[in-house]
Amino acid sequence: MSDLARSAMSARLAKLPSDLPPLSPEEEEESKNSLGSLPGSGLGPPAMCAKPNPAFAPISASSFFGQALQVVVPRRNLDCRVYYTPPGDSQGGGTVMVLQHGAGYSGLSFACMAKEITEMTRGECGVLAVDARRHVSTLANPNEDTDLSIDVLVDDFVDVIQTVYPDTTVSPTLFLIGHSMGGSIVTRACPVLLDKKYKVGGVAVLDVVEGSAIEALPIMNSLLNARPDGFDSVEDAVEWHVSTKTIRNATSARISVPTIVTPSESSSSNVPPIVWRTALRSTAPYWESWFLGLSSRFLTVRTARLLVLAGTDRLDKELMIGQMQGKFQMVVVPGTGHMLHEDDPTKLAEIVVDFWKRNERLVVGIKKVGEL
């Protein structure tokens, strides 16, 4: 994006939370890689050894979010990609569900769920999905971009919120929803946003528990070794995710997977034409920081709390005690895997919309979930 386009976008974001004006022709062209033809539809020729399967061709995200935007955060040298559908009552604040993806994924992993939320609430709830640094189209200072420690990711998240909603007196009520690594980010960001006088109606963590995550760290490299180094085409990447049940919803995979792969810059015939955009092995030094202390932070966050899991066996001792004490709401979604919000976006949307209704639209005398 040109400096002129960035300046124009920064000026326009300062006017939020009102609905955002349409992109200029130049900016529209810049955003086509996420809303229009997604990354993947123009990622270069596929490998000659395999013909792309049209059943797994990329699907545009243009009907799932209202806009794709680059949010410039000068104090962090960050140019952050967000996907945004404003709330219907944007002039009066309204409610926005802020969605943070897990490691290696993108904001478009929430595309199907976001559309369901918008439709279920008849536009009353807006959605804002954020791409973390070193993921997809979020750009940072190359000298700082290598740091994916939890403090850096939380500061990024908070500063993006402050840039999008600079005036806390008219900003919407925020419901923070994070998957895996993103769950740790939103949990830690909540107290910071509350201290800055933002209204946070609740925090929802999707399929991550501190105990299970820490226990799994020693075998993470083995799990990554089971992944292919790359693919012959974007369609091949989508098909791999679906066939291995990494993502069990082909429609969601066709939207999100093209954003997490990229054309290889290598001319070597040993390197696949399409490779992973984020090298997860390089993030290993930060894995422990993402999850250590997550359970206690989640249980003490000063808002309503929701934990959504793909299986009950994922609870650690601290959360089991907290659940028995009624400190948070827990929902298990059967028939899903780790990417539960992609596997069953309708069910996940129903869960978070119900969570919003219970904790934003309160009847006198009823306490929020987690408030004893």
Q: Is 207 assigned a catalytic role?
A: yes
Q: Tell me if residue 338 is catalytic.
A: yes
Q: Is 212 one of the catalytic residues?
A: no
Summarised one tens digit per residue, pLDDT across range 151-188 is 999 999 999 999 999 999 999 999 999 999 999 999 99
pLDDT at 16 over 80: no
- Residue 30 banded pLDDT, cuts 50, 70, 90: very low
Q: Map out the domains of the chain as residue ranges.
A: 3-360
The predicted-structure confidence for 268-315, as pLDDT tens digits, reads as follows 888 899 999 888 888 888 899 999 999 999 999 999 999 999 976 678
In this model, does residue 42 exceed pLDDT 80?
no
Catalytic-labelled residue, pool 137, 180, 233, 264 = 180
Mean pLDDT, residues 355-362: 80
In the CATH hierarchy, which top-level class contains the domain 3-360?
A: alpha beta
Catalytic, out of 338, 341, 343, 344:
338
| pTM of the shown model | 0.83
Which residue would you say has higher pLDDT here, 254 or 285?
A: 254
Select which of 79, 131, 207, 343 is catalytic.
207
Burial of 225 (0-12, 13-18, 19+ CB in 10 A): exposed
Across 31-59, b (16+ Cβ under 10 Å) vs e yields bbbbbebbbbeebeebbeeeebeeebebb
